[in-house]
Structures are given as C-alpha cells and as structure tokens.
Chain A
Amino acid sequence: MRENVLQRAIVILVVTLGCLYVTLIGWRSPRLDDFKSLDQIKRNLAANIKLGLDLKGGSHLVMQVMADEAVQKMTDDNVEKARAILENIGISVKEAKRLSATQLAIAIADAGRAGEARDKLLEDFGKSEWTASVSGDTLTFTLSERVAQEYRRRAVEQAMLIIESRINAFGVAEPTLQRYGAEQSHQILLQLPGVDDPERVKKTLVLESNLELRPVDGAYRTYATLEEARLAIGGRTDVEALPLDERDDDETLDEDGQPLPKRRAQPKPDAPTQFLLVSKTPIVVGKDLRDAFASSGSLDGEGDYRIVFKLKDEGAKKFGDWTGQNIGKGLAIVLNGRVKSAPTIRGQIRETGEITGNFTKASAEDLALVLRSGALPARIVYLEERTVGPSLGADSIRQGVAASIAGLLFILLFMVAYYRLSGVNAIISLILNLVMLLAVMVMFGAVLTLPGIAGVILTIGMAVDSNVLIFERIREELKAGKPVLNAVELGFDKAFVTILDTHVTTVVSSLILFVFGTGPIRGFAVTLLAGLLANIFTATFVSKTMFGYVLSRSERPSELSI
C-alpha cells in the first residue's frame, strides 16, 4: 500500500498531463499562443472535441437512390436497340417491350429466324449478363440478378460522386457523405454542418438534369390537350408529345446561338399547359455538355436569368451538322421531360446554346450547377431529415451542460460531506476520469452527441459507484476492528473484484452496441467505453495511490478520515 507511492504518482502525473495535452492541444506540436487567452483555450477545445450535428446544428439527411430505375433504363435502352438491330438484318418486330426492370420480351414476325435473332441480340447485350429463352415467335431476355445487383451498386456510387460534386460547388464546410444501412438498401447518409439555406441545398442535390436537345416534329404547332396531341401522332413511334413551358415561338437564335433581341412574352402562370410534338431521338444530350453557367439576359446584368451551355467537340459537331441542315425548323430544349423553350433555327449553331425560362438568379445558378455535375443515374428521394438550427443546438448544449454540472457539483459536495477527506480523494479521481474520457475521445476522433452525453452520465454514475464501493468496504473492515492500513488494503482488494465484474460486464455490452448499433446507439457506446476504461484506472490505481500517500505520512496511522 505505502510502497512505490512516488513512482505511482509519477505515472499518474504523466497520464494526466498527457490527457490534458491531447484535449487542449490535440495531435500536433504546441504553439506559443495556445494558452494566450481563455478564448484561445476554448477555441482549441472546440476544435478537438467534435460535436455531433444534434449539438452544434446542421442537417442530417438520409436519401435513397432508386437504383432499380437505372437498371430499368438500361433494359428500356436494350428494347430500343433490339428493334433497330433486328430491323437492320431484316427481321420485322411485331412487339418489343420491357416486362420488368430486368426482363424484356420481343415478338418477331418470322418465328423461323428466332434463333438467329437471339444470337445477334445476345451478342450485343452481352452474353455474360443476359440469358435468352425462345418460345414460338417470342424471345425473352433476362438480366442476371448478380449483374443487376452490380448495376444498382454502380448507380449508387455514381450518384454519390455527383452529389459530392454538387455539395462542393456549394462550398459547404466539412460535409460527410457515406453509404448508409444495408448494401441492398441503396441509402446514402449526408451530414452538412451549418448550411445557411438547407432547403435550397437539399433541392439542388437531388435535382434531375436530363437535358436533351431534340428536333421539333414538322411545323411548329402546339396542342391544347394531350389527347389532341396523341391524335396528331397517330401510329408513329418516333415522336412524342411533351408539355411546353414557354409558348413563345417567335424567339430566334442568331449565328452564335444568341437569341435575337425581341419581345419575349412570359408565360402566364395560370395559363393551361400546351403540348408540342418532338422527336424521340435527341441530337445531343446532357453528357455532351462541356460547361453551363447562369447569365443575365438584360443589359445591366440583372434580371432575366438564363443558362448558357457549351458543348463538347463531338456534341458540337453533331449539333452543328443538324442545325446547318435544318434552318427554319424548331429545336426543343427538353429538361426532365418538359420542353423549356423551342426556338426556331435561323442559322448554323456549333457549340453554344441557352436555356431560357422563368429563372431567378438562384434557380438559374442551381440548374447550371446541376447541368455541370451531370445527370443522376436514377431518382433520389429523401427518407429522413434532421435539421438543427445553430441557435437550438447551442441551447441544448447550454442546458445539458448546465444540468450535468449542477448534478456533478451536488455529487462532489455530498462525497466530501459524507466521506470527508476521502471524499476529496474521490473528487480528484472523478475529475481525472472526465479528463481522460475527453482525451480518449479526442484520440479516436469520436463525436460527442446527445446520446453520448447519456454515456457520460452513466460513466459518472459508475465512477461514483466505484468510489462508494471502496469506501464502504474500508469502513466495514474498520468496523470489524482491522487496523487502518490493513482495512484500506482489504477494502481495495475486495472492492476491486466487484469493480472489475461490473465494468467488464458493461464493456461487453457497450462493445456489442458499438459493433452492431447505428447512429445514436453508437454515440452512446463510444463515450461509455472511453469512460469505463478511464474509470478502472482512476478508481483503483489513482485512488489507491492517494490513500497510500496519506497513510505513508505517519509510521503507524491510527485514524482515517473516511
């Protein structure tokens, strides 16, 4: 008990200073101004102890990539491809359609050539990915589940890359973007600390941007209803009717793709939607874009916002060829299945175009950003949102911390009143425990959340419990008539077994919570684990050393303040 007090005190001192260093300065060499002022110390603390979004404010978003849509789209493409390939080799197609996301069926006129058609198509679709079966004149192609799985996974990855580039364009500080939940759930977790307009960011992140430039079918003519437009289409499969946002057909583009200044009628918001017939085959698509930016159409640089886009070389060539051959015809600028505007081509345009419409500065900038970052492979929907404003986050810290400190102070007072000098001993180990807890959290880069504070409370409870266990044990031995030195020794020895049992049991459960838990459960487990480890050290080693020091001061201690 009384041996090696000095050595043990040195160990404690080193550990304490190490922990204080890590909490106050972190993993770096100290600088002169680290302790210049109280504010600087506070700043360092705030930089080292990372607070969760529930405490510091920010947005926690869980989104789902509708990954099946990406697979579905590929199957749709294959239906179109099959039609073209078969017509090419002179097999006429009676019907071609998608049965499910991973299956398509083609009925051909000449059942005798089914084998040939199957081989030809499989070659194009990929033999390792698709399997085919023939019954009569119908060919059924099925995408293997393993490959479909792979496509879904890729869709999620691609979506994450695109979202990342969109977030970066917004300049959000320290966002985290990661996969969330099970592999097949196709969920993404995005945490944005301190965004000043979360709604705008949220909207832009999942904005679809399927831009297509398509020829307007025939002469420019709008239809008042979808039925009317369908009637005009008749049996043709190469055109479709799309809703038109801007009805102004007088707009014209000049040599460089700039619209000639002209009176531009804004569509009335309550005007009924009209439809325009456009070709199904685009001239260029979003992938061909090299750049897009928002720009103002008016002379003073304010108002009348639009998006100017530039095409890549290959796209520009296609676009130039088409516009050169189709002077006088209409060009539909189709965004997400709606015709944004449909100017008439007055001359050849090579690489620049514009999307006009009812844009504000912000919405034009957001759309330009979305066009630049590319089209999402599939729709993304939000499943969960937790946004905590900076003022509310600050409130919950203030209140939680104030309440915890009040509780802690009461405990400390009680310990001194009840156990007197030994109570001081308990206080020192309790405070050291908290310092170590913080240091362990800094070391592992753990994040302090609201459930984490719950872990701290349980830690404090268990730290107090350890001390109470030891002290009560010592008292028992004293009452049994043991000499002071002996009683302290026995008290520590016997209580140690109990402390070890309770702590290891809790460590077992918090490890399980950490490994299998998510979000809030994990936050709780992290602080609890850190606290428990610190507690075993403080309650047994530190407290015992302090008793050893007190007892070593007299040759035969006969009294103990406990």
Chain B
Amino acid sequence: MMIELFRNPNYDFLGKAKYFIAFSAIVMTAGCISMVTRGFNLGVDFAGGTKLTARFVAPPDENQIREALRKGGYAPDKIVIQRTGRQLSQSDRNEVFINTPQTETDVDGDKRKITEALQQHYGAAAPPDKLDINLVGASALADRLAERDALDLKRTLPPGEAEKEYRRFADHVMQIRDAAGGTLADLKAIPLTGFDPKMAEALEQAAAAGAFNIVSAEIVGPQVGKDLRNRAIVVTIVACIGMLFFIAFRFEWIYGVAAVIAVIHDVLITLGLFSLFQWEISLTFIAAMLTLVGYSMNDTIVIFDRIREQLAQRRRDDLATVTNEAINQTLSRTVITSGLTLLSVLALVLFGGEVLKSFSLALLIGILFGTYSSIAIASPVLLWWKRYLERRQPAAAEAPPARAGGEKRAGQRAKSAPTR
C-alpha cells in the first residue's frame, strides 16, 4: 500500500487568503519598519572594512583581545569580536573573528595594524629575534634557517643544496601547521621523519610558536561594497523581469505578474527578518537570495501549471474552485519537496560552518516563505485580478459573474471589450 501524506486533501486555502495576506502584511510591515529604522547588520563585504579570522593556540579570552586592540589604537566600540557559534571542534573553540571599519588610509592597513597589536600583546610567546612560526610562510622560515645554518650544511653540501634542504624542512613544518588547523603550539610536536634530528634544534633557534595565526582576511574598500550590492540588486531585478516575460509567454501576463509579486514578497520578508534579528548579511547572502528567487518561482509555476491544465479540461468551473483544487492536488508534492529541501538546508545551518551561516539561514527562511507565498500570495493575486477584470465587464451576462470561468474566456472578454 502507498504511504500518503494527504488522502484527497480538500482544504479551502483561498477562503483563508485574507488571513494569509494579513499575516504577510504584518511581517512585512515589521520588517520594513526595521529596515528603515535599524537598517541591516552588513558584513564587511557590503559595508567595507576588515574582517580577520584569528586562530589561537588555546581558547582565547575576548577581553584580552579587546585590550590588545585598545592598546593598538582601536576604539573598543568600533571593534566587533565574535566567537564561532558552534563549538564542535578544537579549531572552532580557538577561533575568533575580529571586525573593524576601515581606520587606515590604505584599505589593507588595518590587517597589518591589528596583527601588530596582537603580536605586541601576545609577544611573550615569540621573542623578537625569532620568527613566529604561526605568522610566517615557508619561504621566510627557509631563508632564516639557511641564514643561521645550524646544521652547517653549507659547508658539507654542494652549493645551493643546503638552501633546498632547509626549504624542504620549512615546507614540511608549514604542512604540519596547516593540517593542525593553522596553528602550532609546540615546536617539539613536529615529526622529524626523513630529516636530520638536529633540524629540531635548528628550528628552535630560528623560530618560536606565537599565540595566533590570521587564517583568513576579508578586506573590502567602501566603494567595492557599494558596487557589489548595487550590481546584485540590478542583476536580480533583471533576472525577475526575464522570468516574468517567460511566464507571460507560456501562460498569460497576469501569471507572470503574480509570480513576481510572490517573489518580491519572499525577498522582502527575508530581508525584513534579517533586519529584525540583525543577522549578518555577507556575500553569500546574495547567492541565497538568488536561490530563493529560483525556488519561489519554481513552486509558483507548479501550481500555475496545474491551474492552466484544469482550466483547459473543465471550462465550466469557477476559477476560484479550480485554483483551490489545483493547490490541493499539488499539496503533497509541495510538502514533500519543500520538506526535503528544507531539511537539507537545515543540515547546512547546523553543520555547514560559520562561512555558510548567512547563506543557509537566508535559504531556510526563503524556502519556507517561498512555498508559503505560492499558495498564500501568488494564487490569490491571480484570482483577484481575474475577478476584477470580470467586474469591469458587467455586460458579459451570458455567464453569472461568480461562475465566470475559464481564463481563456476572461481574456477574450477583456480584449473584445472596447468594441462593444
């Protein structure tokens, strides 16, 4: 026997359209008010500024970092220090985001300044005469090892070979460091297989393990952020217009318009919620918005397709009845598809990591409302417009207004109106 979510569902969705619209209006109004008064929590991608991801060798104390940056000349109220939301792995616990608007004249000046401030504060771990193994790259380490030449390789090996050997060891050290999540707490933890055991000594003479590593940096000048945002908005609008034309070509104008209204509704609600809860909007948010637009369109078209099909078969039925039945007939598909997609996005929210946070959260809300809007917004808009057209044609008395029926006839009537 089949497992079924709904056995012959027959809910009166359109009858409740007023409540849906009221609900959407409330959420949208709240969102719009928040957008106007509070604005968005824009990440560096859009607001400009510097966002560094620092990984420490041990879980860092936020107050200490704040203190270090204050000494480095940063006003405490401008700097945002965040911990990763999930604390699943050791590297999550050791990680901290440092966020600041641009304070230096050079776009990338803050990165240097913050790194220096942290180095000053946590300096005890890495004395100035030694390289900080967590901050330098392989080439710098290799140069330093070759310069010190603790193994006296330059005398024993042919020219050039000593540098190569030190470089090979430096690459090895960096590989171990990056595999360990970007930081090494102890130089003695580096395995020496394949190398002269004296390399450990050479390394300790040349370098020390500092307290932190800057594992990623996002630095965006103010103009770039603005350009990016404007471009994303324009492209999304153009894409919506493109879809509107295609739907108009396949169906009718009003179907395209109704679908686009539903999409705008979803975008506004998602933006509103991001403003209300002040969730951070980063670059990946754009990708989520695009996904949302695609998903919402897809969902609406499935219902519209069914309406078109039913109208072609049952010309005598009322559009409201047909629309409601179309929603009901596609209901199990809607719930299964949305449910499954929602669950895979939920997996992304929970386990996808901090980088994807803004993206997966936007997607979660978008899919939820994208599904909802096809039923609660797009279908009523379609129905109301059709009814409005009919009311403007009182002369069309051959059919009672309530049973005005098929889209084709409604369309014809609208077109032939001026000639009567």
Contacts and interface: CB of A to CB of B under 8 A. Distances in A.
Interface of A: 54, 62, 181, 195-197, 199-200, 202, 302, 361-362, 381-392, 394-396, 399-400, 402-404, 406-408, 410-411, 414, 417-418, 450-451, 453-455, 457-458, 460-462, 464-465, 468-469, 472, 475-476, 494, 497-498, 501-502, 504-506, 508-513, 516-518, 520-521, 523-525, 528, 562
B22 interface: no
Contact of A384 (B55, B220, B284): B220
Contact of B344 (A202, A381, A457, A528): A457
B356 interface: yes
B174 interface: yes
Contact of B351 (A199, A403, A410, A501): A403
B178 A389 contact: yes
A388 B353 CA distance: 15
B327 interface: no
Given A181-B227, A505-B297, A384 B286 contact: no
A469 B331 CA distance: 11
B217 interface: yes
A408 to B, nearest CB: 7
Contact of A509 (B221, B287, B297, B345): B297
Contacts of A361: 143, 147
Given A199-B112, A502-B298, A562-B2, A508 B283 contact: no
Contact of A407 (B227, B245, B344): B344
Residue among B137, B139, B216, B227 having the largest count of chain A Cβ atoms under 10 Å: B216
A524 B343 CA distance: 21
A507 to B, nearest CB: 9
Interface stretch (B71-79, B194-202, B232-240): B232-240
B107 A385 contact: yes
Contacts of B174: 196
A407 B239 contact: no
B53 interface: yes
B36 interface: no
Interface string B81-114: 0000000000100000000000000111001100
A380 B298 CA distance: 46
Contacts of B217: 385-387
23 contacts: A196-B140, A197-B139, A202-B108, A382-B107, A383-B107, A383-B220, A384-B219, A386-B216, A387-B216, A391-B55, A392-B182, A396-B353, A400-B352, A410-B344, A454-B359, A457-B348, A461-B341, A502-B301, A504-B246, A508-B246, A512-B238, A520-B284, A528-B294
A389 B242 contact: no
Interface string B279-301: 00001101110110111011001
Given A386-B218, A461-B341, A450 B356 contact: yes
A11 B269 CA distance: 46
B18 interface: no
Given A506-B297, A517-B235, A521-B286, A403 B347 contact: yes
A386 B302 contact: no
A454 B302 CA distance: 22
Given A386-B218, A521-B235, A396 B356 contact: yes
Contacts of B179: 391
A508 B3 contact: no
Contact of B243 (A394, A472, A509, A562): A509
Given A383-B224, A505-B297, A391 B181 contact: yes
Contacts of B139: 196-197
A125 B239 CA distance: 49
Given A391-B178, A502-B301, A509 B293 contact: yes
Contact of B302 (A395, A469, A520): A469
> Across chains A and B, which 5 residue pairs bring their CB atoms closest together, nearest first?
A407-B344, A196-B137, A399-B353, A197-B137, A451-B287
Nearest to A494: B309
A429 to B, nearest CB: 15
B301 A501 contact: yes
B406 to A, nearest CB: 18
A458 B363 CA distance: 10
Nearest to B251: A501
Nearest to A171: B139
Band of interface residues on B: 35 or more
B247 interface: yes
B351 A406 contact: yes
Contacts of A62: 224
Interface of B: 2-4, 53, 55, 91, 106-108, 111-112, 136-140, 143, 147, 174, 177-182, 213-221, 223-224, 227-228, 231-232, 234-235, 238-240, 242-243, 245-247, 250, 283-284, 286-288, 290-291, 293-295, 297-298, 301-302, 305-306, 309, 329-330, 332-333, 336-337, 340-341, 343-348, 350-353, 355-356, 359, 363
Nearest to B181: A391
A389 B309 contact: no
A333 to B, nearest CB: 26
A146 B298 CA distance: 48
B137 A512 contact: no
Contacts of A521: 231-232, 235, 286-287, 290
B215 A392 contact: yes
Contacts of A54: 355
A520 B337 contact: no
Contact of A512 (B3, B227, B239, B302): B239
A399 B351 contact: yes
A362 B111 CA distance: 21
Given A302-B147, A502-B301, A505-B246, A406 B329 contact: no
A454 B291 contact: yes
Nearest to A64: B221
Contact of B353 (A390, A395, A468): A395
Given A395-B91, A410-B340, 20 more contacts: A196-B174, A362-B143, A382-B219, A384-B221, A386-B218, A389-B216, A394-B178, A403-B347, A403-B352, A411-B343, A450-B359, A454-B363, A472-B333, A494-B309, A502-B297, A502-B302, A505-B246, A505-B297, A518-B228, A521-B232
Residue among B3, B343, B355 having the largest count of chain A Cβ atoms under 10 Å: B355
Nearest to A59: B217
Contacts of B240: 509
B291 A399 contact: no
Nearest to B115: A199
Contacts of B355: 54, 396, 399-400, 450
B416 to A, nearest CB: 28
B247 A505 contact: yes
B319 to A, nearest CB: 19
A465 B298 contact: yes
